[in-house]
Structure 1
Amino acid sequence: MAQELRCEVVVNSDQVQATDRQVFQEMQNAISEVMNNTRWTNDTYQNDERIRCKLFITLRAMPRIGFFEANAQIISSRPTYGTGYETTVLSFVDTKFTFEYNQAQPLQFAPNTYTSPLTALLSFYAYSIIGMDNDSFARLGGAGAFTEANNILNLVNSSGGGFGGWTSTDDTRNRYWLLNNLQDPQFEPFRAALYIYHRQGLDLMASDPEKARQNILEALRGIQRVGQLRPGAAAIRSFFEAKSTELANAFNTATPAQKQQAYELLTQIDPTNRPKYDGLLQR
C-alpha cells in the first residue's frame, strides 16, 4: 500500500564546512526515508495518487557538531483534471528550520510522541502538505491533517525541544502562524476558496474555461474577505507566492469584463505582485 507522499528531498550544504561531507548525503537520505516511507494517515492512496512535493533544505550554519541552522522551502503540487498541468498547492519558506542530526540515531516518526526536532519538523510539514492537498479536493477536507500538525506543534512546545518557529512570538510568517491561519474559523472562507479554486476552477478549465474563471473569481472574493480581516496573514501570502503567475495566466484569454474583475481583486488582495497583473489590462 502506497504512502501519501512522493517527496523529493534536497539538502544543500555548500555554506557549511565539515571534514566528513558524507553526513550530508546520509542526512538527505534519512529525511527522504521519513517523508516517503512513513504512513501518515489511515487513508488509502494508490501509487499514482501520492502527493508530489519537494523539500529543499539549505544549511546556513553548523554552530556545533550535529546542530544545524537552515532555511527550508516546502512545495507541493497536484495535477489538474483533463490536462498535463501541475498546479502548486503549497509554497512556504521556513527560515527557522533548525535541528539536530546524528547519523547514529535513525529518524523515526512516532504518533503522539516527541522524538526529535528534525522529526517534528518533517512530520509537521507532511501533515500540512496532506491537509492543503485535501482542502483542494474537498471543502475543508484538510481538517484532520491540520489537527495532527497541531498535535505536533503542541508536543514540541510542551517538551521545550523546538528551536524557533513554533510559537506566535517568533514572527508572523512562521510555521506556527501558517497552521494558526488554517485552523482559525475566520479563515474558513479562505479554505473554502482553496476548494473552489482548484476543484471548481482549475479542474474545470479544460472543459468550460468561462465557468472555471467565474469560479476562480468567486474564490478570490472569499480570500479578499479574509484578507480584509487579517491583512498580511501567512496563509494568504503563501497562496499568492504559489499562484500569482498562474492567476495572471488563467485570465490571459478571459473576456474584458473578467479581466477587469480579476485585476481589481488581485491588485487589492496581492499588491506585491501587481506588475504581474498589470498585463491583464494591456492585452
Structure 2
Amino acid sequence: MKKIISLFFLFFIYNLSFSQELLATVQVNSQQLGGSNQQAFKALEKSLKDFINNTSWTGKKLQNFEKIKCGFALVISERDGNRFKGSIVVQAVRPVYNTTYESPLVNLQDQRLSFEYVENENLIFNERQFSGKNLTDVISFYIYLILGYDADSFQAMGGSQWFAKAQQIAQNSQNRNYEGWNTINEPRSRTILINEIINPNWNQLRSTIYTYHRAGLDNLFNQDQTSAKKVIFDALMQLKMYENSFQQSYFFNLFMDNKSDEIFNIFNSGNNGGIILNDLKQQMIILSPKNIDNKWNKWKT
C-alpha cells in the first residue's frame, strides 16, 4: 500500500495510563463529484465528528489530553441520491513517554466504502445489530480497531475486549450487500483484518507490538538508548516465525507498512550498541521486501 500522507500535525501531552476514547479529526472530500451539493457533505463531516468524539465507546470520560488522537478522511467518488461510494483513510497515533513524538499505530486506506446517508440525520451506533446503512458500522469498526491497537501497545494483549467488539460489528455486517466485509474475493477486507488480529496464530505479532512500544519506544529517549534498542531489536526478531506465512496477512503487512519508516530511523543513527544490525537487516529484507532499496540496504552494518 502506498504511503498515506499524514492528515494532521501532531502534538500530545503524555499520560502514562492508556487512553480509551478519541480526539478525532474528520474530513469529507467530495471534489470528484463536481457541482454536487457541498452543504450535504459539510453536514456529513460535522455529524461524523460529533458521532466519533461524543459517543462513549468505552464508558470512560477522559480529558482531551488523555484521548487517542486519530483522523478519518472520506473521499466520496460516487453519489446516487442518498447512496454514496468512495474510500476512507484511518489514522491513529500513540504518544511516546517523555517526548512530543507520536508513533503511528493505525494508518490504512479502505477502498470499499459505501453507505446511505440523509443530510442532518442522527448517527446512532448499536453494537448488537447492523445499522442498515453501513456508515456507522464502518466507522465504529475502525474506532474499536484503534482502541484495540492503542490498548495492545500499553498492556500485553490489552486490546482484546475492543477487538472483540470490532469482530462483532464485522459479523453483524456479513451478507448485507455492502463491500468491505467479505472474506472471499476481498483480500484486505475489514473482516479478514479483525479475524487475523483475534486469531491466536498472530499472538506473537501482538506481543511484539506491546514490547516494541512499551518496553522499547517508551525508553528510547533516555540518555543511553542501548537497552531500548536491544528490546526493539529482540521484539522484531521474534517475527522470524512468520517468514513463511506473512505474505497473505493483512494484519502483518499493515504493521510493516506503518512501522517501516520508524524502524529504519531507530537503527539508522549508528549508535546501536552491541546489536548485530545485519541480522535485523536480513530479516527486514524478507519481511518487508518493498523497502530493500530505500531503507534496509541503507543501513550501515
TM-score for the superposition, normalised by structure 2: 0.87
Q: In the alignment, which residue of structure 2 is the partner of 1:237?
A: 253
- Aligned match of 2:213 in 161, 178, 198? 198
Q: Which amino acid aligns with 1:118?
A: L
Asked whether 1:129 is paired with 2:152, we answer no
Task: Give me the whole-angstrom Cα distance separating, in 2, the residues matched to 1:193 and 1:17.
Answer: 45
Q: CA, structure 1 residues 83+19, in 2 after alignment: closer, same or farther (shift >3 Å)?
A: closer
Q: CA, structure 1 residues 185+58, in 2 after alignment: closer, same or farther (shift >3 Å)?
A: same
- Aligned match of 1:269 in 282, 287, 297? 287
Q: In the alignment, which residue of structure 2 is the partner of 1:259?
A: 277
Task: Give me the whole-angstrom Cα distance separating, in 1, the residues matched to 2:32 and 2:46.
Answer: 19
CA RMSD, 1 decimal:
1.8
- Aligned match of 2:69 in 52, 63, 75? 52
Q: CA, structure 1 residues 205+98, in 2 after alignment: closer, same or farther (shift >3 Å)?
A: same
Q: CA, structure 1 residues 19+90, in 2 after alignment: closer, same or farther (shift >3 Å)?
A: closer
Q: In the alignment, which residue of structure 2 is the partner of 1:278?
A: 297
Task: Give me the whole-angstrom Cα distance separating, in 2, the residues matched to 1:22 and 1:260.
Answer: 55
Task: Out of 216-225 and 163-172, give the one that drifted further.
Answer: 216-225
Q: Residue 105 of structure 1: CA displacement?
A: 2.6
Task: Give me the whole-angstrom Cα distance separating, in 2, the residues matched to 1:34 and 1:43.
Answer: 16
Q: In the alignment, which residue of structure 1 is the partner of 2:119?
A: 103
- For structure 2, the 5+ residue unaligned runs are 1-18
Q: Which amino acid aligns with 2:227?
A: K
Q: Which amino acid aligns with 2:128?
A: N
Task: Give me the whole-angstrom Cα distance separating, in 2, the residues matched to 1:223 and 1:45.
Answer: 35
* Aligned residues with identical type, % of pairs: 29
Q: Which amino acid aligns with 2:56?
A: R
Q: In the alignment, which residue of structure 2 is the partner of 1:187?
A: 202
Q: CA, structure 1 residues 92+18, in 2 after alignment: closer, same or farther (shift >3 Å)?
A: same
Aligned residue pairs, count: 278
Instruction: Within 5 Å, give how 1:79-118 maps onto structure 2.
Output: 79-115=95-131, 116-118=133-135
TM-score for the superposition, normalised by structure 1: 0.92
Q: Residue 193 of structure 1: CA displacement?
A: 0.5
- Aligned match of 1:176 in 151, 176, 191? 191
Q: In the alignment, which residue of structure 2 is the partner of 1:161?
A: 176
Find the residue that maps to 2:74 and give its secondary structure.
strand
* Contact 2:33–2:77 under 8 Å retained in 1: yes
Q: CA, structure 1 residues 225+43, in 2 after alignment: closer, same or farther (shift >3 Å)?
A: farther
Q: Residue 261 of structure 1: CA displacement?
A: 2.6
